Structure 1
Amino acid sequence: MKKYYEEFEPGQTRSTTGRTITETDIILHAGQTGDFFPHHMDEEWCKTQPFKRRIAHGTLIFCIAIGQTAGEINEVSMTYGYDRLRFIRPVFIGDTLRTEVTIKSKNEHKRPEYGLVVEQVHTYNQHLELVMACEHLLLVEKTR
């Protein structure tokens, strides 16, 4: 797929299907990152904490949310970075996440053959509560 800078319009949206968070997700992410904090790994300790149960790593939720949005490869676009990442509510084992992406803005880039597209990314749980938000910056080729 090729979607050039000129084809992006602020306000365009797309949504993903659901993805349920499992204990396996948390265990694998802990092993990959080395983050074995008790908030994620120790059920008994968590019972003494405000949420009363284990929570998923914020970085796990970020990775899953962004992965949900990567259904098609745009050959003329690449990730430039992420801004304003926030973990708004905890995510628990058994929660099902869906992600919505809205084109927020388009800007010129210092490299004139590219433009910068900013996507607003919102991830919701099964109760439609916002759990994560960020801005995804895309460097996108202009038509020639």
Structure 2
Amino acid sequence: MTSIFYEDYELEAGRRTGGRTITETDIVLHAGQTGDFYPHHMDAEWCKTQPFGQRIAHGTLTFSIGIGLTANELNPEAFSYGYNRLRFIKPVFIGDTIHATVTIKEKNEHPKRADMGFVIEEVKVMNQHGHTVMACEHVLLVNKQRGRGKCE
């Protein structure tokens, strides 16, 4: 477990996660957990008559797996504050392998707490062809390191 304080985050710093192949089991389990049994996800024959021609993963499944892939580093100084600008750009199909890239987009002082700041990560989830299938901004609330001066 590495402590990374607000001051330690560098704009434009980035990382790439490993990949994860989306399976039919993923889709079926997600449908059961969420109650979303829309035919776009569950009915292979009906999907053949639709523009994509095959079943697609739930957007919320793509989000949960894509964001889960980014959770490979535990930082006890940062807390997830939420997500902004979430978009599902392209469909994810059974058999697609997705990975995520994370780039530090901006840092902002907390308006009420001098001991914390906001770090905005740009998250892009891509398929095996390099196409972005989902994008969002992950907002982190991060502790400042005690004893350091004000951040620049």
Indicate whether the TM-score tops 0.5: yes
Measured in 1, the distance between the counterparts of 2:117 and 2:100 equals 24
Q: Counterpart of 1:134 in structure 2: which amino acid? A: C
In structure 1, which of residues 117, 124, 127 is the aligned counterpart of residue 126 of structure 2?
Answer: 124
Aligned pairs (5 A) from 1:73-84: 73-84=74-85
Task: State the number of aligned residues.
Answer: 144
- After superposition, give the CA deviation of every residue in 1:66-112 in whole Å (9 maximum; x if it has no partner): 10000111001000000000000000000000100000000011222
Q: For the residues of structure 1 that align with 2:83 and 2:40, how far apart are their CA atoms? A: 25
Number of the residue aligned with 2:149: none
Which letter maps to 2:120? V
> Kindly, what percent of the aligned residue pairs are identical?
65
Distance 2:73 2:82 in 1: 18
| Structure 2 match to 1:21 | 22
The 4+ residue runs of structure 1 with deviation greater than 6 A are none
| Per-residue deviation, 1:54 | 0.2
Normalised TM-score (structure 1) = 0.99
Determine the structure 2 residue equivalent to 1:63.
64
Distance (Å, rounded) in 1 between the aligned partners of 2:18 and 2:72: 10
Q: For structure 1, list consecutive stretches of 5 or more residues without a partner in the other structure.
A: none
Which is higher, the Rg of structure 1 or of structure 2?
2
TM-score (norm 2): 0.94
1:18-49 Cα shifts (integer Å, max 9, x gaps): 10000000000000000000000000111111
CA-atom RMSD, angstroms? 0.5
What is the alpha-carbon distance in structure 2 between the residues aligned to residue 104 and residue 11 of structure 1?
Answer: 6
CA distance in 2, matches of 1:22, 1:34: 18
Look up the equivalent residue of 1:117 and give its one-letter code. V
Residue 92 of structure 1: aligned partner? 93
Distance 1:125 1:76 in 2: 31
The 3-state SS of whatever aligns with 2:140 is strand
Equivalent position amino acid for 1:141 in 2: N
Aligned pair 1:105/2:106, yes or no? yes
| Counterpart in the other structure of 1:48 | 49
